[in-house]
Copies of this chain bind each other. A is one copy, B any other.
Amino acid sequence: MNAYLLIGTEREFMRPSKRDELVRKSLAVFYRDGFHATGMDTLVVETGISKTTMFKHFRTKEDLILAVLRYRDETFRNWFLRSLDERDLPPRQKLLAIFDVLREWFEESGFRGCMFIKASSEFQDPAHPAHTQSTEHKRLLLSAFKSLAEKAGAARPELLARQLLLLKEGAIVAAQMGFDPDPAGAAREAASALIEAHIPDT
């Protein structure tokens, strides 16, 4: 049995370490500079991985981008939901904590907004795989929010989840563009009022 099969998340190739390294490092560049604005030659310089190797792992730039988005979905969603979980709060408070985790993210150095909002902005055709993958990412978050809203005893958990997600996306855009000094705080207060309206305070 090949030990490499156990490393990382990719199973299509025998030695995925280089591939994973490429995905991770490309993610950083795409996130910082954008998809169209980043050329393959830039990736060679920034990742230190040869162009030949890149095109051995991914047939096209688009394939690489899709792998980057898959990786981002996995890591970001894991990080976000686990951060929520680790706070070990009652469900109602957990809904609010969404916006505390969000603020943590906004305060990270190098924060540049949501990779999926940007992907859907650069690949606007709704049928484009980068677009559909981005939509799917948001659906998965929505579903997690809904399950939280149910546990919190919301009268209409689906609606509450959608509204909290709207607040979250709005806060991300505000943080990215910088037109609000504390979008996470404003969103948190709004969420509090919403939760109050959805879940009568015992």
A163 with B177, Cβ < 8 A, contacts A122-B121, A169-B169, A194-B193 known: no
Interchain nearest-CB distance for A176 vs B (Å): 6
Interchain nearest-CB distance for A147 vs B (Å): 16
Q: Report A121-170 residues with CB < 8 Å from chain B CB.
A: 121-122, 124, 126, 131, 134-135, 138-139, 142, 159, 162-163, 165-170
The 5 closest A-B pairs by CB, nearest first: A166-B170, A170-B170, A36-B36, A169-B170, A121-B121
Interchain nearest-CB distance for A121 vs B (Å): 4
Q: Report whether A126 and B168 are in contact in the complex, using a CB–CB cutoff of 8 Å.
A: no
Partner of A112, one of B124, B135, B176, B194: B124
